[in-house]
Each structure stands twice: as C-alpha cells, then as structure tokens.
Structure 1
Amino acid sequence: MGLMPVTESMFLLGESREHPLHVGGLQLFALPDGADRDYVGDLHRALLADPEVHPLLRRRPRGPVSTVGQWVWTDDDRLDLEYHVRLSALPAPGRVRELLELVSRLHGSLLDRHRPLWEAHLVEGLQDNRFALYTKVHHALLDGVSALRLLQRSLSTDPAERGLGAPWAVPPGERTRSRGGGLSRVVRELVGLGPAVAKYVNQAFDEQAANLPFGAPRSIFNVPITGARRFAAQGWPLERVRAIGEAAGATVNDVVLAMCAGALRTYLLELDALPDRPLVAAVPMSLRADGGRDGGNALGLILANLATDLAAPADRLAAITDSTRRGKAFYEGMSPLQITALSAIPFAPLAAGLLPGGVRLTPPPFNLMISNVPGPAEPRYWNGARMLGVYPLSIPYEGQALNITVTSYDGSVEFGLTGCRRSVPHLQRLLTHLDAELSALESRVV
C-alpha cells in the first residue's frame, strides 16, 4: 500500500457523476485474411484466458476515510478480468456512426472505484470487415502519453507475428519501476519554485496578451456540464499538415491548433456565438524523459492564443505560432517539477467552478484544452489484425465542455473530439469544419 501523489489523487477528489475523469482510446482494426465470423469472440476468450495484467492496472484506490485524509493505492489480488474486458456488438448496419454512438455512451459512465480503474471493450459487427477496441482508464492512473505507450507494447510491426498480449498485459521485464526521486532533488526544485512563481506573476502583469491566465473570453464551452458525452473522430494525412508547417515556419502542432481555431471560429459563427476576443487553448506538453515507461502523469501547460478574432487562416496560423513559441520560451531553464507546479495555476478557477454557480461567477482561465500525443509512425498489427486508426478520448471539465485530443499514426493525424452531450450541439459538424480549414490553409499558405 503506497500513498498516492497529489497529482494523481486530485483526479479522484474532483470526480463526480457529472464529471467523469477518465481518458480513453478507440482503435479500429481490419480482420486478418481468412478470419471467420467468430474471430472477435475467439479473441475475447483468448484475452480472458491470459491472467497477466500490468501491475499499474491492478491498483485500486482506497479513500481518505481510513487513511487519515490521504488517498492510497492498494493492489487487487483478485482482479476479475471478465468484468474489465467485455465484448459488444454493433446494431446493423454497423457503420462508424453506430460505433461512435456506443463509445459516446461508454465514455460517459463512471469507473467502479471498488475495482482497478479501467475497462476494455472489444466491438464486433463493424462494416467492411473491421472490429474495434475501446479502452478507458482513470486519469489518476495514466495520462494520455502513458496510455498510448501501453497500447503500443501490445502491437507489432510484423503482420505475421502472433501470440501478442493485450494492452493491459505487459511482459514482466517491463513492469512499472519505482518512481521515487531523491528527496534532496525535490527540495532543490521546490526552493527554485519561488522565483519561478514570481516570474510567472510578473509576466502576467507586464504582458496583456490573450494567452495568459484569465485573458480568455466567455464562450458557449465555458458552462456547467453533465456526465453524458458525445464523441466524434476523423483523421487527415500528416503530409498535408507538415507541408503547411514547412511553408509557414510552424510546427505540426501549430498547424493542428490552426485547424482547430478555424473550425471553432466557423462553428461559433454558425451559432452566432463567436466572442469578440480570441479563444485561448490550454495545450499540455509531456515533460517525461523516459518516454512514459513508468506510467503516471507528467505534464506542463501552455496557454495558446487561437486568434479566432482573425478572419484569414494564414494570419491565425502566424499568431498561433508566435503564441506557442513564447509559451515554450517561458519555461526554459525550469525543472519538470517547477513547470508542473506553474501549470496548475490556470486550473485553480476550475476548482472554484465545482462550487454551485462557480462557473458563472469566475472567468474562464482558458476556453478548451487541445492535446497532441504522438503515436506510431508505421503500421502496427495485433496478432495479424492491422490497426487502421487510433482516436483519443479525453475529459471535458466543469466549465470546459469541449476537449480536442490529437494523435498521429501511420502518416495520419487523428482527431478525437469529446464534448458534453448537452452543452456542445452538433459536435460532428466540427469535423467538417476541420476539413475545410485544412484546405483553406493549403490554399493560402503552401
């Protein structure tokens, strides 16, 4: 039994029925050549027959009542794999639309805190000889980077390779290592946190830029939310995004942000709800030096000006690129601990938003979160089944009704849009607007 770090326990403390705090992933696979109608059912039975489960995914939380106010992790020695790994079938005609409806419902339900905080759902009945795997895991256990790393360990670059384990089953040699750090190092970093906070505050007062905390306008996304979710997903060729970045002197992530900015601008104009001031996005960045092997959470945060007040796509991209460069430069010379501590400052109003009426009384620190998690660059296979796409699902927060998470895979940029079902109408329209914005950037920048 080990004490739970504050960075993990805060995701348990902040969770309620209206605010599920788990991340997820949807992977599409092509059935291997010669697979029969029982392939997915046979795969499900084979997965249940393998008792190997990553130690991280055997953890279950014990609340503060019996631990003097501190959450702890305990190991579940009697993990019920049939509960965690489930088989579902889509109704006819088995389109992606039906799949996304199923995933939307699954993503809106809470994980059982009496068990390890994860689930996996194999889904059969998808058109065009495909099947899917939807997984979700509590953010107290894993961030998006760590979850993607676990997925990759169960995949192969060789379509002929068989006998691969499940994403939740990791070879013993790769099991979670201790995340303990030297006490002296932590003390040194905390001592350096004072000047870093002073720098943060000074910059906030010296620069009246939209990409600093509390500069975000109110928008239709910054409202109270419910627990029900709607999910939309689509991918675009990475080479198109990269070509725009090379022509504009911007990163791939800058172009992704510009696609989101243009899509959001069009979407809000359609609803007659575009704020006069530009939207601000919270953009997490991974601080981990070990590639995510040890699980857990290690993130910093940049506040990016999305320039939604500008009509021209090229002008928006230039403003976004300047904003992200300044955000990254601000953290230069700081340790991961200091960056993480400073990154928590914009989230403080979100805690106030959990109080009755808090969202309406406090200004939003940012309007939405946009994450970009890199994935495999080449095709991957799971026991001969080629992975066709991987789409991330994330967490809308109280006062943050929309979350956009992006990953890359096999030459594609895959967007996953997770929204509050009540607060974000016609979420799927954003996919059309993302496509239109990519084309607009190509015609005006490349």
Structure 2
Amino acid sequence: MVELISPPDAIFLVNESREHPMHVGSLQLFQPPEDAGPDFARTIHEQMLAIPVSKRVFRKRPGTVFGGISNLTWSYDAEVDLDYHLRRAALPSPGRVRELLDLTSRLHSSLLDRHRPLWEQRLIEGLNDGRLAVYTKVHHALIDGVAAQRLLQRTLSTDPYADDVRVPWSLADQGGHGPGSSLAGRATGALRGLGRLAPSTMRLAKQAFAEHRLTLPFDAPDSMFNVPIGGARRCAAQSWPLARIRAVQAAAGVTVNDVVLTMCSAALRAYLLEHDALPDRSLIAMVPVSLRREGAGEASGNAVGTILCNLGTDLSDAAERLRAVSASMSEGKRLFAQMPKVEALAVSALMIAPLGLSSVPGFVAMTRPPFNIVISNVPGPREPMYWNGARLDGNYPMSIVLDGQALNITVTSNAGNLDFGVVGCRRSVPHLQRILRHLEEGLAELEHVTA
C-alpha cells in the first residue's frame, strides 16, 4: 500500500534547500553519575546500537514513484543502519561549551540524507567538565519541534538509579505528532486553511483586527533579522535559574513569559545597538500562547493562539520595556478570549500564514516583515530528569530559521531552570553568541528596577 505524503509535510520537503534545512534539533547536556567510569559514553553507545528501530517514524524517508518522482509518497526501510544515524563525536581541546556549540552549529547546518530515514543523533564527549552531550535532529516532515521535545523527554526518567537506556526510535506511539503543534507546521496548515475559509469568516478576521486593536502582520519595522538567509547556522544556548525570573515576575506583577520576552527585548536592543542597526520603532515578536480557558479540558480542542507582541525595543528604560511587553501580551490574550472560536481561529491563521510564504521567490524582498522574530516558550519537565543515571543539566531546543526570519529564540523549562536555545543565520546574524550575554544583562536590569 502506497502512503501519500500529506500536503503540509510535502511543503517542508519541497521547500528544503541548502539555504533552508528543514529539520528541528535539540541539544541535551548530561552530568554522568559519580560512579561513571571513563567508558560511560562508549557503553551507552553500544547499548543504544543494540536496540532495533521499531518506531515507524524513524524508518521513514521520501520514496519515488513513476520512475523517479519524489516528495509524493513515503517509503519505510525494513533495516535501518544505526551505525550511520547514531554516532559518537569528540570535542577538540580545550573542550569548552564554546567548542560544543560550534560543533552543534555545524551539525544543525547540514542537510539530512533523503536516501535514509530523516534523522540523526550524536553522542558528544570531550567536555572539560566531564559532561556528556546529545544532539538530535529530525526532519520537520516527520515530526514537529514540540513533539520532538516531548519524545526526547520520554527517554528520560525521574529515577536517578534507573539504568535502562531508552531511545526515541523504540518508544511506543502516544497519539499523533502531526504538524499542527509547532509554529512552522501550523503556518503550512494555515495557508491551506485560509483558502477554505468562508468569506464570512474572513470578514470576521478583518473585523477582529479593526475592532479589537490587534497588532497587524506586516506592520513591523525593517531590521537586520528580516533578510534572505544562507545555509550556515550559528547556535547558542544557556540556562537561567527560574527562581531569578520568578522573583522579577512577583515583584512586577507580570507573568513569567512577560519577563522572558523582556529579557529577549533587552538582548535584541543591545545587539542591534552594537551593529548600529536598531530601528526607530519597536520590534514585533510572534509569540505562540495557550488560550485555553480556565477549567477547559482536553476535549476543548486546539487552544493555541499567536500574538504579535510589541517588544518595546525603542525604549531605553527596562521598567518601561517590561510594562510595554506585559501590556501588549495582556491585551492580546484578553482580546482573543473575547472572540468567538471561529473568529479566533481565523485571526490566528492570518497571523501565522506569512511564515509559510517566506519561501516564495521574491516574497521577503517585496514585502515588509510580518514580524521581526519568533520567540517560543515550550513546556518542559518540572522535576530533575535522568538518562541511564546521568542528570539532565540542559535541554536546548534548536529551531528552524527562514528567509525573512534569520533569528529564532526558543525557551523550555527544565526542572529549576529555563533553557534558551538561539539559532541564527551565520551570515546575517554575526557573533550571535553575544545575545546570551545581553540576555543576562537584560535580566540583571530587570532585577535592579524591581528590587
């Protein structure tokens, strides 16, 4: 039986090029147990290689029909060459996090082999502090970023003494992992959905923008982030104690996400000032948020909306920026909550659809930016997690950047920390690692003004 590739999944395959790798990634850092010997990583690697690939999505690759036409059907490999997909790597001396992120950047830049199942994993040794890193990437046509993060979490345990090695390619299925849960996946779905929306629903969306004062797409200023991109990536990652962010939240009477967005605002403002490229008007961020009403259960369906947030990058005072971000997010959530469901869905579709158009030739050059950056906050584990006795120290999502969206910031919770994964086009966003320093400065500013 031939399995057709769905239109949203096909978009990720068709639009992929050397400049636009369409995979999502994750960098995990583990602290080995105290009794771990020098062969800890090698032993785990051997145990992983012994586990067969039973999960169908990890045997999946594009097939060919009619003498060589691709991207129409899926093919499943009966045997998967795990020696190819799962590899060990070692960092060069001195084995700092800097060398780890340099390797991650190169791995995140390279395309996956279309003749094999579309995923790879690296076990990375050689960190000078004795930790072990795992970098995983999976094509977005197979699984979206949110689902990939959840799948990797299922390989972990809350038991520090559990010594069974779990791998994502042998886990039992738990519901669907379609493209609808991630931002890029919802963009492709939105483009299809917009064509089917009844004219009356489109009028509702326009009415919502007019009456509810929602920020419109394509009203963002031009910036150095909103340009065509090349194929090389730069990745940066760092963790911040959740307690520091919660202290600012409590003192200012805002949400944790407001504080995170204001940290990002400060970092972007400082970075742009360094490059003499700060727009006079504030940058606008696309922010996915939960719009589920209080008391609503799982049966209430998809309740994820997208808000265009004023980041206040035109404001020099940290307290004013926090107020601007909080006001923008609060107003967006309040207005979405007042809309009928069909109107809210229509507005969200219009908000996110420009992401799906970024690969259209000339679209970025001929239009203003729909927004300047995507900043996502993905729920992660709330308690310490372990993998074969090694404690998860960092869990950094590495997302996709696109033409017109050369920088992406994704945040996930990890026990008592918030882990930031930053991905940018190496050419368009030079010295991207400086954003990490500016994030710390932004948080310190907020701590000062709310003390």
Provide closer, same or farther for how the CA distance between residues 51 and 326 of structure 1 changes in structure 2, counting only shifts above 3 A: same
> Separation in 2 of the partners of 1:178 and 1:220?
34
Does residue 26 (structure 1) correspond to residue 27 (structure 2)? The answer is yes
Gaps of 5+ in 1: 180-188, 292-296
Provide closer, same or farther for how the CA distance between residues 255 and 67 of structure 1 changes in structure 2, counting only shifts above 3 A: farther
Secondary structure of the equivalent of 2:169?
coil
Contact 2:58–2:169 (CA under 8 A) maintained in structure 1: yes
**What CA deviation, in whole Å up to 9, does each residue of 1:162-195 have, x standing for no partner?**
113113320x4x455698xxxxxxxxx9988655
AA at the equivalent of 1:19: H
> How far off is 1:327 after superposition?
2.6
Contact 1:287–1:299 (CA under 8 A) maintained in structure 2: yes
Shifted more, 3-12 versus 218-227: the winner is 3-12
Provide closer, same or farther for how the CA distance between residues 97 and 265 of structure 1 changes in structure 2, counting only shifts above 3 A: same
Contact 1:156–1:380 (CA under 8 A) maintained in structure 2: yes
**What CA deviation, in whole Å up to 9, does each residue of 1:237-282 have, x standing for no partner?**
1011122222223221111111000111111112111101110111
**Partner in structure 2 of residue 203 of structure 1:** 208
**Partner in structure 1 of residue 226 of structure 2:** 222
Provide closer, same or farther for how the CA distance between residues 63 and 52 of structure 1 changes in structure 2, counting only shifts above 3 A: closer
Identical residues among aligned pairs (%): 54
Contact 1:353–1:362 (CA under 8 A) maintained in structure 2: no
Contact 2:63–2:70 (CA under 8 A) maintained in structure 1: no
Secondary structure of the equivalent of 1:115?
coil
**Partner in structure 2 of residue 54 of structure 1:** 55
> Separation in 2 of the partners of 1:118 and 1:285?
28
Contact 2:291–2:333 (CA under 8 A) maintained in structure 1: no
AA at the equivalent of 2:248: I
> Separation in 2 of the partners of 1:84 and 1:376?
26
**Partner in structure 1 of residue 266 of structure 2:** 262
> Separation in 1 of the partners of 2:58 and 2:345?
24
> Separation in 2 of the partners of 1:217 and 1:178?
35
Secondary structure of the equivalent of 1:71?
strand
Contact 1:352–1:362 (CA under 8 A) maintained in structure 2: no
AA at the equivalent of 2:280: D
> How far off is 1:115 after superposition?
2.1
Contact 1:144–1:373 (CA under 8 A) maintained in structure 2: no
> How far off is 1:66 after superposition?
7.6
> Separation in 2 of the partners of 1:151 and 1:201?
40
> Separation in 1 of the partners of 2:369 and 2:437?
27
Work out which of the residue numbers 300, 321, 328 in structure 2 matches 1:323.
Answer: 328
Secondary structure of the equivalent of 2:52?
coil
Work out which of the residue numbers 223, 233, 255 in structure 1 matches 2:237.
Answer: 233
Does residue 369 (structure 1) correspond to residue 370 (structure 2)? The answer is no
**Partner in structure 1 of residue 182 of structure 2:** none
Work out which of the residue numbers 254, 265, 279 in structure 2 matches 1:250.
Answer: 254
Shifted more, 200-209 versus 94-103: the winner is 200-209
Provide closer, same or farther for how the CA distance between residues 203 and 340 of structure 1 changes in structure 2, counting only shifts above 3 A: closer
**Partner in structure 1 of residue 142 of structure 2:** 141
- Equivalent runs, 1:395-414 vs 2, <5 Å: 395-414=400-419
**Partner in structure 1 of residue 112 of structure 2:** 111
> Separation in 1 of the partners of 2:403 and 2:392?
34
Contact 1:190–1:338 (CA under 8 A) maintained in structure 2: no
Work out which of the residue numbers 383, 387, 391 in structure 2 matches 1:382.
Answer: 387
Contact 1:228–1:421 (CA under 8 A) maintained in structure 2: yes
> Separation in 2 of the partners of 1:346 and 1:426?
30
**What TM-score, normalized to structure 2?**
0.86
**What CA deviation, in whole Å up to 9, does each residue of 1:396-433 have, x standing for no partner?**
11011100011110110111110000000111111111
Secondary structure of the equivalent of 1:157?
coil
> Separation in 2 of the partners of 1:321 and 1:281?
13
Does residue 157 (structure 1) correspond to residue 124 (structure 2)? The answer is no
**What TM-score, normalized to structure 1?**
0.87
AA at the equivalent of 2:402: Y
**Partner in structure 2 of residue 185 of structure 1:** none
Secondary structure of the equivalent of 2:102?
helix
**What CA deviation, in whole Å up to 9, does each residue of 1:119-165 have, x standing for no partner?**
11000111111110000111222222211111111111111111131
Contact 1:25–1:391 (CA under 8 A) maintained in structure 2: yes
